[in-house]
Amino acid sequence: MLNWIRERKQRRALAARLLDILIAQARRPIFYAEYGVPDTMLGRYEMVCLHAYLLLGRLKQAGGQGPRIAQTLHDQIFDDFDIALREVGIGDMGIGKRIKKLARNLHGRISAYERGLAGGDAEMTAALRRNLYASAEPTDAEVAAMIAYIRHTRDAVEACDPDDLWQARSLFPDPASIGTVSEGLA
């Protein structure tokens, strides 16, 4: 029983550190300045969803404790969304419905991004315009730069050693190292 409690506490602590890394990456100013992501609550939510897709998938593939950590991270993401909704004034009566909708949205985006990466640039472009850029009009160059970032990041996250996951080391590459729209990436 004590082992279960200790493991649960360690899993929560690791998931919290991974969430901090995920949120820090999603909030990088370059996405909003160079990649055309709208700097709004919705834009930030979409960036969290994108990075959650990349990280949750890797955790599930890691085996061992990976799937349990993925579930704990998933739960903590929605705990954060709950807090954010309350901070903007959503009352208790509306929180449950909105969290369920956000969960459906995240799962839909995960499916769309999976299909997009498997289907090629045209399908990924459509998925990004429908989701990440739903409230914006990005240029073709911004979308192409985002696709390059996603592919590069997926490869980097999938290649990371499980020890890096368990130690919550920085998992995401610097988007500036991939190139930006202004540098002529696209």
What are the pLDDT digits (tens) for 147-166? Answer: 999 999 999 999 988 888 88
Contact 178, 136 (CB under 8 A): no
What are the pLDDT digits (tens) for 22-65? Answer: 999 999 999 999 999 999 988 999 999 999 999 999 999 988 88
**All residues at 6 or more sequence positions from 114 whose CB lies less than 8 Å from its CB, including other chains:** 53
SS3 helix, strand, coil % of the chain, rounded to 5?
75, 0, 25
What are the pLDDT digits (tens) for 55-101? Answer: 999 999 988 888 999 999 999 998 888 888 888 787 777 788 888 88
As given in the structure block, the two tokens for residue 164 are 């890096």
